[in-house]
Structure 1
Amino acid sequence: MTIENMIKCCDKLTQTENILAQYIIENKNEISKLSIQQLSGKTFVSKSAIHRFCKKIGIDGFNELKVKVVQDIAEESKIENDIDVNFPFLEGDTQGVIAQKLIKLYETTIRDTYKYIDVEKLNTCVSILHKADIIDIYTHAHNSNVAENFMDKMRSIGRIVNCTKSFYDQRCNATASKKNHAALLLSYSGKSTFLQPISEILYKKGIETIWIGRVGSSSVPEHIKHRLYISDRENFKNRISQFSSHIAMQYMLDLIYSCIFKRDYNHNIKYIKEIANIIDKRDITE
């Protein structure tokens, strides 16, 4: 994960730490050449505060910060002809060119989302969902498609997943949740109207809740403690379509399904084979 992404994933920076973070992001080429005393002088942030900032974002100290910045600069220099995820193709592009650009968009989005993955947090979320008897998904609009795809995958290994669509049904479902439930809240922006009221109901009932959305969102209710981040490149309104956010959300849910599947791998393989002829009545011999 890049320094910038590590900073975005840190939810509770102080005003002083935010000033320091902004300086580091905007002056990455300069940071590697500075001593901690020089950085302190340029940002008016004490050396001890710089060390605390490093610890908070997951780095041992200032020297490691400098090394990480150099690595990030080297990695960025390798990325050429990066795609604009909001306008990935132009009016004059041929269909063949559009096909190539969408490949690039998919690759860029998945690679970007992969950089935000914190393996420990992912493992915690997978454990919560694996342990739950029932998984309830709360989302709306185009995210309903990836939610239903995840639900279908989970059902194929005998897991119960609910995906209610109307706000009324979501409130009823959240209110009826029991301790053996776990909840997935999908909102790219973190500003969806259902997020606050539904998460409050789940919090009061003690339901383990996981939010998946763009890194850097400041609108997510604080009581949602489990968070998985996806690429934040897509603009909320100025775009051709939700190409990037859709692919990022799909990738994250596919990753979660795969990790859950892996925990009972042999059992799940056996279950899929056992129910194949029950679920699928097509006469397929190939």
Structure 2
Amino acid sequence: MDYLAENLIYGIECSMSKFTKTEEELAKYILQHPEEVSQLTISQIAKKLHISAATITRFCQKLAFSGFNEFKHELKRSVDLQNTPIHMKNLKNVDYFAKLYQDHMGIIDHTFQITSYEDIQKAVSLLTKAKKIHVYGIGSSGIAAHEFKSKFFRIGLSVEAITDPHQSMMDAALSNRDSVVIGISISGTTKEGHSRGENSEETRLTDLGFYWR
């Protein structure tokens, strides 16, 4: 299922181009009257809009739902979340899966806003030509580094995920013009505590000889 609760309305809006004229009319009605539709049966909607139940089912399937019942369930959750007071958003009874999905969609949207098609093409060119791809991620960013390695390894690219700060410095020293180095970081700095009880050491990105965001 592609959309969850709060993101369902946004998902419908983004899918307009793949709907038929009748399905588009249905989508517009849902966007204008989500609470009403969440209370109706498929037969009631079909009669109200003078369309077939099969059309409604196809509409739901184009949104990656198995059928109207599953779609209606998510629409009801969407309506409930929209009616939740702002100060209640962080309480446990709020749908955290929907919030997580929305946060990730926000990250993707922001990425497309600051990234041009030329940037993506340049990155693709560098990755496909590289003899070795090095992905650095320290701390929690190391999880993303390993995920990067897993995804790109499956399409035949040679990727090495480095999650230890000392190893990353050694690895960076061995990189050459045929290498592509990718750094993953949220804060820009990472504090690493030594297991032997020594003072913690702050590893800055610039210590590795390059910057990343």
The TM-score bracket by the shorter chain reads 0.3 to 0.5
Larger Rg: 2
Greater RCO structure (CA 8 Å; 6+ sep): 1
